[in-house]
Amino acid sequence: MKRILLAGALLLVAATPRMAERQRAEHVLDRLAFGARPGDVEEVMRIGVDRWIDQQLHPERISDRAVESRVAKYQREVKLPTREEAKRDKKMARQAGRAAIGDLSAQRILRAAESERQLSEVMVDFWMNHFNVFAGKSIDRFLITSYERDTIRGHMWGRFEDLLMATAKSPAMLFYLDNARSRSGAINENYARELMELHTLGVDGGYAQKDVTELARVLTGWSISWGGPLARRAAAGPAGRGTADQRSAPQFIFRSAAHDQGAKSVLGVKLSGGGIDEGERMIRVLATHPSTARHLATKLCQRLVADDPPPALVDRVAKRFLDTRGDLRATVRAVVESPEFFDPKYYRAKVKSPFEYAISAVRAAGATIDNPLPLARQLKTIGQPLYFAQPPTGYSDKAEAWSNNGALVARLDFATALAANKMPGVRVRTDDAVLLAKKLGGPEFQKQ
Partner 1 sequence: MNRRIFLKTSGLTLLGTALTPRVFARMAQASGTRGKKVLVAIFQRGAVDGLNMIVPYGESAYYSARPTIAIPKKDVLDLDGFFGAHPSLQSLLPFWKDRSLAIVQAAGSPDATRSHFDAQDFMESGTPGVKSTEDGFLARAMDPPNKEPLRALAISPSMPRILAGSNAVVATDIARYANAPSTKVFGSMYPEAFEASRILRTLGANSGTAYPRNPLGDALSQIARVIKSDVGLEIAFADAGGWDTHAAQGGIDGQLANNLRGFSEAMTAFANDLGSRMSDVVLITMSEFGRTVRQNGNRGTDHGHATVMLALGGNVKGGKVHGRWPGLASHQLFEGRDLAVTTDFRDVFAEVLTKHLGVPSMASVFPKYEARRVGLM
Residue 188 Cβ, how far from partner 1 at the closest point, in Å?
A: 5
What residues make contact with partner 1 under the rule CB under 8 A? 177-178, 181-183, 185-190, 193, 197-198, 203, 209, 212, 383-384, 390-393, 396, 400-410, 412-413, 415-417, 434, 437-438, 441-443
- Distance in angstroms (rounded) separating the CA atoms of residues 304 and 321: 16
Give the span between the Cα atoms of 362 and 418, in whole angstroms: 8
E strand segments, 206-346? 222-225, 251-254, 264-266, 269-271
Residue closer to partner 1, measured from CB, 90 or 241: 90
- Whichever of 34 and 402 has its CB closer to partner 1, that residue is 402
Alpha-carbon span 383 to 23, nearest angstrom: 29
Q: Smallest distance, Å, CB 318 to partner 1?
A: 19
Please classify residue 83 by burial: count the beta carbons closer than 10 Å to its beta carbon, then call 0-12 exposed, 13-18 middle and 19+ buried. exposed
CA atoms of 385 and 403, how far apart (whole Å): 17
User: Which lies closer to partner 1 via its Cβ, residue 23 or residue 188?
Assistant: 188
Q: Give yes or no for a contact between 231 and 248, defined as CB atoms under 8 angstroms apart.
A: no
Residue whose CB is less far from partner 1, 309 or 392: 392
Q: CB of 383: closest distance to partner 1 in angstroms? A: 4
Cα angle 96, 100, 103 (rounded to 5 degrees) comes to: 130
Which amino acid is present at 78?
A: V
User: What backbone phi and psi angles, to 5 degrees, belong to 243?
Assistant: -75, 165
Closest separation between CB of residue 221 and partner 1, Å? 12
Question: Nearest distance from residue 434's CB to partner 1, in Å?
Answer: 6
> Cβ 270 to partner 1, closest distance in Å?
23
> In the beta sheet, which residues pair with residue 269?
266
Q: Name residues whose C-beta falls within 8 Å of residue 376's C-beta, 6 or more positions apart in sequence.
A: 102, 105, 106, 109, 385, 386
Q: How far is the CB of 107 from partner 1 (least distance, A)?
A: 24
Nearest to 303 by CA among 398, 390, 379, 200: 398
Q: Are the CB atoms for 363 and 35 separated by under 8 Å?
A: yes
**Do 250 and 81 contact (CB within 8 A), yes or no?**
no
Phi, then psi, of 39 in degrees rounded to 5: 95, -15
Of 42 and 432, nearer to partner 1 (C-beta) is 432
Q: Which residues pair with 223 in a beta bridge?
A: 253
CB of 296 to partner 1, least distance (A): 16
- For partner 1, the closer of residues 319 and 398 by Cβ is 398
Q: Which is nearer to partner 1, 324 or 396 (CB)?
A: 396
CB of 99 vs partner 1, minimal distance in Å: 24
What backbone phi and psi angles, to 5 degrees, belong to 287?
Answer: -65, -30
Distance between CA atoms of 72 and 271, rounded to whole angstroms?
47
Q: How far is the CB of 442 from partner 1 (least distance, A)?
A: 7
Q: Which is nearer to partner 1, 125 or 343 (CB)?
A: 125
- CB closer to partner 1, 268 vs 443: 443
Nearer to partner 1, 372 or 392 (CB): 392
